[in-house]
Amino acid sequence: MKNEISIVIPTLNESENIIYLFQKIQEALSKSKLTWSIVFVDDSKDDDTSEEINKIRQSNQNVFLIRRYNSMGLSSALIQGALSCDSKYIVFMDSDLQHPPIKILDLYDKIVKDKYDLVSASRFIFKNNLLNKRRYKISYLVNKILKKFFKINYNDILTGFFIVEKKFFFKHSKNLSSAGFKLLLDLVISSKKNISYSEIPFDFQQRFKGESKLSNKVLIDFVLLVLDKIFGKILPARYIIYSVVGLTGVFFQLLT
């Protein structure tokens, strides 16, 4: 039987979170009559995370694993996981429990009741005291800049917690960039003339276990995504980055 929702969860060295995350999702969705499945897309270097997922799969036929041995970034993991789904709606969320599973039903109710293409969970509708102040300020500032630049009426265009209708996602998936780590931004920009969307508030939680995956590479991938959305039809984003780096080197050589 076709599931009503599929939950796509990317993992990268998150073995300590998997069992607890599944229990919380199961607990949240058991209150409804929804049929659901989880698709884990694992980019971990070791086998620990996939082993934890396989423990769950032994007794749960609605849990699936896509194991990737050449990590290609967060967005590509989400896209690959979504394209494997056979459900009416697709939920995207992180594996560190900063996105509370109890909010999945709120996202689902909103998108079904009001017939939106997409509904996301925003960190910025209400003040959130659990957000790291420095990271909160940076995220808030970047959101404001992106909203103005791309003319997007969104409180939190950088959230990784949202639900989308599968037909809508599949329709626009060919325009998505596998670069970067903010799929929502990519999806909204790629379809902003043909998208109906809304937001619900949620309290951003503290990471349950493990370490944050925010790194210089992730930030570079984010810049690549933005450049690709701006110049992608004219020049590849990586060409622009390499050109800037090359010109900077030439400038300092001449200066020396």
Rounded mean pLDDT, 30-46: 92
Q: Are 64 and 81 in contact (CB under 8 A)?
A: no
Best-predicted range by mean pLDDT (78-87, 122-131, 204-213): 78-87
User: What integer is the mean pLDDT of 156-172?
Assistant: 93
Residues 6 or more apart from 130 whose CB is under 8 A from it? 203, 204, 205, 206
Round to whole Å and give the CA distance between 77 and 68: 9
Can you give the pLDDT at residue 255?
62
The Cα–Cα gap between 237 and 225 comes to 8
Q: Which of 23-27, 119-123, 180-184 has the lowest mean pLDDT?
A: 180-184
In angstroms, the CA 22 to CA 20 distance is 5
CA atoms within 13 A on the CB side of 122: 19
Q: Residue type at 12?
A: L
pTM value is: 0.79
Q: For 103-151, what is each residue's pLDDT tens digit?
A: 999 999 999 999 999 999 998 887 665 556 666 677 777 777 777 777 8
- Is the per-residue pLDDT at 58 higher than 60? yes
Alpha-carbon span 169 to 202, nearest angstrom: 23
What is the model's pLDDT at position 205?
Answer: 79
CB-side neighbour CA atoms (13 Å) of 3: 20
Does the pLDDT of residue 207 top 80, yes or no?
no
Quote the Cα angle for 117-139-172, to 5°.
Answer: 25
